[in-house]
Amino acid sequence: MRINPLIIGTLVLLGCCVLFMTLNSGGHWEFILKFRGRKLAALLLVGMSVSTATLLFQTISRNHILTPSIMGFDALYVLILTMSVFVIGSAGFNQLPSQVVFTLNLVLLIAASLALFGTLLGQHRADLMRMVLTGIIFGILFRSLTAFVNRMIDPNEFATIQVRSYARFNYIDVSLLTISVVLCTIALIACWRMRRQLDVVALGYETAVNLGENVKRRQTQVLILVAVLVSVSTALVGPVAFLGLLVVSLARLVAPNQTHATLLPLCALIAGIILVGGQTILEHILGLATPLSVVVDFVGGLVFLALVLRKGWT
């Protein structure tokens, strides 16, 4: 008898959440529930958003290697951060209201992602390859501009950039978390409602059209949702480049040939296990020796290389 992976994933995630909230608590529940509760909510929100966005992006591109982050999305976030510190200085940047910084990042990231991913909207494989090349070129451009500005910036101000260039889960702004939850919840509900149509799109352009699906309109809707989910999670905590690829690859390994009705919650569960379980280990066993995003990106990068060597670009 085969056990449903969703049941196993739910139980494991619940166990990780309990350990995260109670381990080494010392009985100070009023402080613990408030402080750790914010981080737990942010971890789960980022995990659900990034994993869902990656799964949908792979569905419309019909490629199990591509992710929004690999296409230069995170490089743009770091460039925006670097230019902001360079123009107004680290003191001025740190004095900006968090809502202003969040809104600026969110608007610029959504606009850039729609402009970049919009090249996918076509019928032929050439559109996919044009998007890949465009993403790689812009990613290199963003990183080059960031490196150039870093050479001119004051070393003391560079520390501000260095700290904010990695995903941060130790301090979560409640006001930003609230608006992030609202935006991501709306986007996630929209993703779940189109799960059956995504199964049709995954069959290929010609097949989907023959089955009555308006593929271009569906691609546009998915790209908007992907832009919102990735932009909100990145603006809230910072970039986690390979999290989505790692999670979706594990989900397809656990439940191959499954529909989106299974893959969507499974990806969210695996992402939550990785983030919550990883943060628990780093905080209470390794003493925060390294940011969680560094470990996730390292493992995810290895998965990306393995997929490229095994499957190529298909």
State the DSSP string of 274-306: HHHHHHHHHHHTS-S-S-HHHHHHHHHHHHHHH
pLDDT of residue 308: 66
Name the nearest CA neighbour of 81 among 190, 241, 234: 234
Give per-residue pLDDT as tens, 55-114. 998 888 787 877 777 767 778 878 888 888 888 877 777 787 878 878 887 788 778 777
Q: Is 288 within the bounds of a domain?
A: yes
Q: Is 50 within the bounds of a domain?
A: yes
Total tally of structural domains belonging to the chain? 1
Which domain CATH number covers 271?
1.10.3470.10
Greatest CA separation for the chain: 63
State the DSSP string of 68-97: TIIIIIHHHHHHHHHHHHHHHHHHHHHHS-
Q: Is 155 within the bounds of a domain?
A: yes
Three-state DSSP at 182 gives helix
- 29-61 helix and 5-22 helix, angle to the nearest 10 degrees: 150
- 292-311 helix and 260-284 helix, angle to the nearest 10 degrees: 140
Q: Is 232 within the bounds of a domain?
A: yes
Give per-residue pLDDT as tens, 203-229. 877 888 888 888 888 888 888 888 888
Q: Do the beta carbons of residue 276 and residue 16 sit within 8 Å?
A: yes
Opening angle at CA 183, ends 200 and 76, nearest 5: 85
pLDDT of residue 192: 92
Query: pTM of the entire structure?
Result: 0.83
How large a percentage of the chain has pLDDT more than 90? Answer: 8
Q: Is 297 within the bounds of a domain?
A: yes
Q: Is 16 within the bounds of a domain?
A: no
Give per-residue pLDDT as tens, 153-193. 877 777 777 777 776 776 777 778 888 889 899 999 999 99
**Amino acid in position 288:** L
Number of other residues whose CB lies within 10 A of the CB of residue 166? 18
Give per-residue pLDDT as tens, 110-140. 787 777 666 655 544 445 567 667 777 888 8
Q: Do the beta carbons of residue 268 and residue 46 sit within 8 Å?
A: no
Report the run of H or E that residue 243 belongs to, with start and end: helix 243-254
State the DSSP string of 92-135: HHHHS-HHHHHHHHHHHHHHHHHHHHGGG-SSSHHHHHHHHHHH
For residue 104, give its domain range: 36-165+172-309
